[in-house]
Amino acid sequence: MAKSRKPAEQVEDVELQGHIIDSLLLPKVLDEILTHGGSYVIKEIRLGQRQVDPSFARIEVRADSAERLDEILDAIHDHGAVSTTDRDCAYEKADIDGAFPENFYSTTNYRTEVRLAGHWVEVEDQEMDCGIVLDLAEKKARCIAMVHVKKGDPIVVGRQGLRVMPAETTARQHLFEFMSSSVSSEKPKGVTVREIAAAIRRTKEGGEKVLAVLGPAVVHTGSVEHICAMIRRGFLDVLFAGNALATHDIESALYGTSLGVWLDRGLPAEEGHEHHLRAINTIRRLGGIEAAVKKGVLKSGIMYECVKRPVPFVLAGSIRDDGPLPEVITDVLVAQDKMREQIKGVGFCLMIATMLHSIATGNLLPAWVRVACVDINPATVTKLADRGSHQTVGVVTDAEPFLRALVHELGDDKMTR
Amino acid sequence: MAKSRKPAEQVEDVELQGHIIDSLLLPKVLDEILTHGGSYVIKEIRLGQRQVDPSFARIEVRADSAERLDEILDAIHDHGAVSTTDRDCAYEKADIDGAFPENFYSTTNYRTEVRLAGHWVEVEDQEMDCGIVLDLAEKKARCIAMVHVKKGDPIVVGRQGLRVMPAETTARQHLFEFMSSSVSSEKPKGVTVREIAAAIRRTKEGGEKVLAVLGPAVVHTGSVEHICAMIRRGFLDVLFAGNALATHDIESALYGTSLGVWLDRGLPAEEGHEHHLRAINTIRRLGGIEAAVKKGVLKSGIMYECVKRPVPFVLAGSIRDDGPLPEVITDVLVAQDKMREQIKGVGFCLMIATMLHSIATGNLLPAWVRVACVDINPATVTKLADRGSHQTVGVVTDAEPFLRALVHELGDDKMTR
Amino acid sequence: MAKSRKPAEQVEDVELQGHIIDSLLLPKVLDEILTHGGSYVIKEIRLGQRQVDPSFARIEVRADSAERLDEILDAIHDHGAVSTTDRDCAYEKADIDGAFPENFYSTTNYRTEVRLAGHWVEVEDQEMDCGIVLDLAEKKARCIAMVHVKKGDPIVVGRQGLRVMPAETTARQHLFEFMSSSVSSEKPKGVTVREIAAAIRRTKEGGEKVLAVLGPAVVHTGSVEHICAMIRRGFLDVLFAGNALATHDIESALYGTSLGVWLDRGLPAEEGHEHHLRAINTIRRLGGIEAAVKKGVLKSGIMYECVKRPVPFVLAGSIRDDGPLPEVITDVLVAQDKMREQIKGVGFCLMIATMLHSIATGNLLPAWVRVACVDINPATVTKLADRGSHQTVGVVTDAEPFLRALVHELGDDKMTR
Amino acid sequence: MAKSRKPAEQVEDVELQGHIIDSLLLPKVLDEILTHGGSYVIKEIRLGQRQVDPSFARIEVRADSAERLDEILDAIHDHGAVSTTDRDCAYEKADIDGAFPENFYSTTNYRTEVRLAGHWVEVEDQEMDCGIVLDLAEKKARCIAMVHVKKGDPIVVGRQGLRVMPAETTARQHLFEFMSSSVSSEKPKGVTVREIAAAIRRTKEGGEKVLAVLGPAVVHTGSVEHICAMIRRGFLDVLFAGNALATHDIESALYGTSLGVWLDRGLPAEEGHEHHLRAINTIRRLGGIEAAVKKGVLKSGIMYECVKRPVPFVLAGSIRDDGPLPEVITDVLVAQDKMREQIKGVGFCLMIATMLHSIATGNLLPAWVRVACVDINPATVTKLADRGSHQTVGVVTDAEPFLRALVHELGDDKMTR
């Protein structure tokens, strides 16, 4: 593997800054360079003396061909390594509706900047698995979903003139002290509840919104009253759920059962399996959830409290839905857009007992929104993290006792808007 | 609780037939009567001498009020107990679009008959959680989803003149010998594969269709080739899946990765997390999956084989979808209707590694279609059964080695249509 | 399969009594007869009018050979079907120490009677997977583990003169109203806690003992205080655990950590992974747990409270143990015998977060001792039931919040002995 | 938090070498220093140019008191940071049998050296959660379990004169290319099988032993033949298991069932639940497994093949055992010692479907023995890693199809010793 003759060796300097030691970005970048057959010289390294101090590294990257160098630069780009050669970002005009140009830049959920006319501009509406569309006149950039592309939109291509900031997100000044990658049910639970309660308070105090993403097991396990208490006291600002959560919530309000099981006795009700369908039918006859509240038929439960306060909700449809309830959005692309609207201003997200809605919400959230994902099944949390929602704290526990303790911990305060 | 004076005792005879011992229906009916405060006299009982012989019981049900008697009759009706007093079924005309009359009869997935003008008529399109709409002129009846009801439709109400046949379904002449309610990974796996292979053969030989419902883990675990072999040999007739299965299948065809992991090496590819989005973009640019096959860009994989043979597929959208691919149906109600169309003629359904699509399909299938649900997570199978798909055999195992063994077991035969 | 000529048809009458409808014993017995190629005539059937009333059936069993008849009688015997031909039980003298005669009767955990000199005698120390040893002089019988057999012991062989009473156990007058075979995390949790609290109270009021079987996750999740409260208030009478529970409990008392994680902060302690080993070493240096309490070194926690009250405990060793603590019984057969001693008088058993000790305890308990098995992993509960501990109510939930709620539900009462 | 006056600032230089970037040791050390309130100056850093090249760092650690400095040095010691001030290790003589001196050094499973009379000496029998006993005359050191300490043994205390080498183990030259911390069932399975087969071959070719640790699900799932094939072809050299694996293996050899389920049909056998007890009884009557093979009663299965080849086995008892079989070691400390003996020379360990024995074996193995832990339950793998067995590759899959594929991949070769 003699490297003595390097006929066409290529060199480029890159910079890396932020919590690059703490967040393990520097070793990852060095590793990527070596893995791709390149080599490096660390030309400058300044390590922060305290955890909160940012570090800085300038690295000379070498490769034996221009192709290889590009490959390396692409690979380390997502870890925050930016070429020191300042060039504006490149773009192409979309040639058709609903698709990007072939070489489009695919976004992460980390904070990203593009260089436009010599200035670094933050990308708005940061969201993973999108493209970046430019507003050339206003010198602005924002994430855009593939389906929303219009012919002629200037779409960013390649990685030139782009920088991502993973280090900011992965540094240790976490919303949660106990942030941990490992998902285990064998953790002290009192602490976890206290930390999440504190995070919710801090979010509210910071003027940001708290988003709840709830699955039907919230109702089945008997947690409706806990969510209602959180809504009444002002600790939840937005709700994402599906037809099932709303249906079983309404079933429990109208019949006292969830999936046909008496919530106060834990026993199946006669013909209880029909209750959810009758509940949906009743609401459809009345013209919807809000109408049912107005007409005095729906008098308690999560959906009732949402209508009352009001807390905006997005009920997104799925193919396993019965009915569905009139407020359910049956087109999934429309539902995604409604969720995108409501996500603005969210600072904390509490996901409970739903894999589908949790992953869908995780797809839309920028990396700096903290997420607690509570599920009795460790697989839900693992999947969320595998799909790029690294800011997630997984709590493997049971919904009802968790929520009971959380409401207790939040105390009797009421939050004002 | 003195029962000496029975001022208004009500009496009605009911009949129960089929495999009522074997399927435990008789004890359940007796238990329901007692639980509801009624009493009974078994007036006649004929027990089948062999398992395949049907049994028969005539039971006098007594209650101390008409209301209580109705309650009892309702409760035992779903277990197949039918009043011997022959009356036609009752109906009401729907008063609005998209909802049933309040007292509508809510269907099960068991075979059901209604009495129309003195004759018992089988309900068509049997599906759980629907209503029954009558064709009074043609003396026909069929299941109808709530959302499809039109004002004026004659909808069956109450339970009079209706009979359900759970005993037929739950009797022991199973498609699978090893039918078992318990879900465990600790079962001999070779047997399971053999039985499922035999069931698939029997289904095809009986002229019925085999439906596959697949989740993306089929691709992640490296099982694409196994599904392709089944399609090519004619063992799969219909495919239900979502955007993810199709996307990762196409990702693997175009890039050799699934969710960015090299399928041949198990290592993450550089920028591999972008592959699925680039795959979707490429297909959208080409105008769809079928177009991509026609244009020679998509040359292998599950979707390719579906287009080639052809095997009809329904790709149903969900809110976690990126893209989506052009063939994905983004409105969930439209997707359900497409699935309903394709379900006709299905005799066997193989569900692998998807909770969402499995439950959705289970909702639509009549109880006599046999289902094997293969998932490494026992919770998927448990949920399917909890939601009424009792005909399901749960196989807790890993998708790839299961499919490898299944393809081996099916052998080299090719099925013709 | 012509059955016209029945050259050697054999006939025997069997009786079945108790809650044979409710507990599904009658259908099971009929099914077994048919499955084995026999046939039957129901000669008499008296069904209880209410759930609490026992039923009775006399059944004539027919088979075409003596061998087949024996096979059938064996098969239905475990379901409680007893030949009406009264004969004493048969026995053989053990020919060696530590093993049964080849044809030994293998016990269940149901109440069992043997016929000795014309009288039905209840078998003492009922335990599954044992033999029955007779005291011919005293006309007594008791279960005996294989390892305890001495040469010359009269051991029951065959099934003649034996009757088991599964119906008593499986009838519906349960300690728990919500008794359910299905294991699911999607159940209302408040109810479950209330029912278990009520069962514990009822057990204590009935003068029986409450046994706790605890795994180390009880400590890891921060539940030590809850168990301590139960001990101090007199709700726990016996403790079964392993080295790990005791070690981490002592670790938390001495260091404030469990497996090295601070219980009050949820963060790993420096060198925390050494704490458990140092805790064991400290206790070994002091001469044991009791000595450590006496010397004032161990001043809180579960083991401390056990010593103080005192609550007898059995710490059974396992091959994954570090240390172990001096009180740990390292020979598993000795540990089993200690557990057998302590099980006498137990009326209720609460198993939390340990598969090994739960299954071991389940092996030893008679079927009429009610068991609640609490684990966040559904597999533990499923396995317990699969191995014959059918009296178990599985609660899929998290240990800490469950115990917190249970202690709250038990209230401030103190139980006296 | 003014740090201007540093009345008693303490300084010490430490060195760190090996794959300290790759294995993330450097950032961890820096982080520990800051977390403990210290500060540092990186006095020298040499980064390896290629992955295989070791790196080196010399760091000046500062703290404002001697106590704090000690605390920091302790904390970073386990990450491989060694004081450059060379001093011999310290020791104390054990003051009692069976326990260490209070300040004993608690071992990891990484390679460790102690400085004795000015020379660095490698510690033998490396094992986590032990102490180190010195042979002062021979200048040797080895790990010793607490229970084996004899009064007067010189036991290492503190961290002075000790160095651990985590970097060697965690560097990327893995036995498995796909080494990954994340545990997921969604991985390509064909690759995994190929890599494990290659690792087994490489181990054998390198003259090291392959150890199998097996749970009873190996039998229940029908995998006996696969293990037998591996034994016959020389791919397994040692077996660790419990009474259950051996019992069900023998049950399947004698009766064709496992836990009473026919392995060829997947259906429960009549009185099948007794088979395992009868199997144990038979073997006890014959005097043991080896005797049963010699006498021609036991003619197939895993235990048979072990006796035949011979492959040494350790059957360790547990409190859930029935019987047990005569070869089962009922004292867990004796069993641990037998396992320690057999572990010498093991280069690869395959753990299948047993949490208890896997964790027990993981406790005993040094970190450089590669481990593949195959279980359908992700929790088993997670627990193993949580308890310090970081060298473990977790494979979430089903035992039978995994083993079938592994045997296929190993091919028809026979390994000689």
Per the DSSP assignment, residues forming a β-bridge with C352 are: C214, C374
Tell me the pairing of strands C346-352 and C209-214.
Answer: parallel
Q: What is the pLDDT of residues D184-199, one digit of tens each?
A: 666 777 888 888 999 9
Tell me the pairing of strands B140-144 and B131-135.
Answer: antiparallel
Distance separating alpha carbons of residues A331 and A308, to the nearest angstrom: 26
Compute the average pLDDT of residues A315-335: 97
Contacts of A31 in chain D (CB under 8 A): 21-22, 51
Q: Binning pLDDT at 50, 70 and 90, where does residue D277 land?
A: very high
Q: Do B277 and A146 touch (CB under 8 A)?
A: yes
In this prediction, residue B181 carries a pLDDT of: 40
Task: Report the SS3 class of residue D327.
Answer: coil
In this prediction, residue A390 carries a pLDDT of: 62
Residue window 283-322, chain C: list those with CB within 8 Å of chain D. Answer: 284-285, 316-322
In this prediction, residue A47 carries a pLDDT of: 64
Contacts of B216 in chain D (CB under 8 A): 186
A360 inside 8 A of chain B by CB:
yes
Contacts of B146 in chain A (CB under 8 A): 277, 280-281, 284, 322-323
Of the given ranges (A270-274, B11-15, B399-403), which has the lowest mean pLDDT? A270-274
Distance separating alpha carbons of residues D147 and C67, to the nearest angstrom: 57
DSSP string, C52-74: TS-EEEEEEEEESSHHHHHHHHH
Q: Binning pLDDT at 50, 70 and 90, where does residue B169 land?
A: low
Q: Do B336 and A319 touch (CB under 8 A)?
A: yes
Q: What is the pLDDT of residues C286-338, one digit of tens each?
A: 999 999 999 999 999 999 999 999 999 999 999 999 999 999 999 999 999 99
Burial of D315 (0-12, 13-18, 19+ CB in 10 A): buried
Residue A3 has pLDDT above 60, yes or no: no
Which chain D residue shows the shortest CA-CA distance from C72? D270
Distance separating alpha carbons of residues B313 and B307, to the nearest angstrom: 9
From edge to edge, which strands make up the β-sheet containing A370-375? A313-316, A238-242, A209-214, A346-352, A370-375, A392-396
Per the DSSP assignment, residues forming a β-bridge with D212 are: D239, D350
Compute the average pLDDT of residues B170-189: 50
**Widest CA span in chain A:** 84
Residue window 39-98, chain C: list those with CB within 8 Å of chain D. Answer: 71, 74-75, 78, 96, 98
Question: For residue C88, what is the DSSP state?
Answer: P
Contacts of B280 in chain A (CB under 8 A): 146
In this prediction, residue D151 carries a pLDDT of: 98
In this prediction, residue C329 carries a pLDDT of: 98
* Helices of type H across B52-188: 66-77, 166-170
B401 inside 8 A of chain C by CB:
no
Give the residue among D186, D195, D102 at the shortest CA–CA distance from D149.
Answer: D102
Q: How far from A295 is each of A286, A287, A289, CA to CA, in Å?
A: 8, 10, 10
Q: Do C405 and A402 touch (CB under 8 A)?
A: no
Residue window 131-150, chain A: list those with CB within 8 Å of chain D. Answer: none
The pTM (predicted TM-score) of the whole model is 0.85
Choose, out of B103, B259, B319, the residue to mutate when testing the contact with A (most A CBs < 10 Å).
Answer: B319
The percent of residues in chain D predicted with pLDDT above 70, rounded, is 88
How much is the ipTM here? 0.86
Judge contact between C21 and C47, C-beta under 8 A: yes
Q: Which range scores top for mean pLDDT: D71-75, D253-257, D336-340?
A: D336-340
From the CA of C204, how many Å to the nearest CA of chain B?
29
Question: For residue A268, what is the DSSP state?
Answer: B
Which chain D residue shows the shortest CA-CA distance from A20? D27
Question: For residue D65, what is the DSSP state?
Answer: S
Compute the average pLDDT of residues B83-110: 92
Choose, out of A32, A148, A320, the residue to mutate when testing the contact with B (most B CBs < 10 Å).
Answer: A320
- A27-30 — which CB contacts under 8 Å span 24+ positions? A27/D21, A27/D22, A27/D24, A27/D26, A27/D27, A28/A79, A29/A59, A29/A76, A29/A79, A29/A80, A29/A81, A30/A59, A30/D21, A30/D47
Contacts of D397 in chain B (CB under 8 A): 376, 398, 400-401
From the CA of D7, how many Å to the nearest CA of chain A?
20
> What is the mean pLDDT, run by run of 10 residues, along chain C of 417 residues?
53 82 73 80 68 74 87 85 85 97 94 92 96 97 98 94 72 39 64 89 94 96 95 97 97 91 76 90 97 97 97 97 97 98 96 94 92 86 70 83 91 70
Q: Do B185 and D221 touch (CB under 8 A)?
A: yes
In this prediction, residue A115 carries a pLDDT of: 93
In this prediction, residue A101 carries a pLDDT of: 97
In this prediction, residue A132 carries a pLDDT of: 98
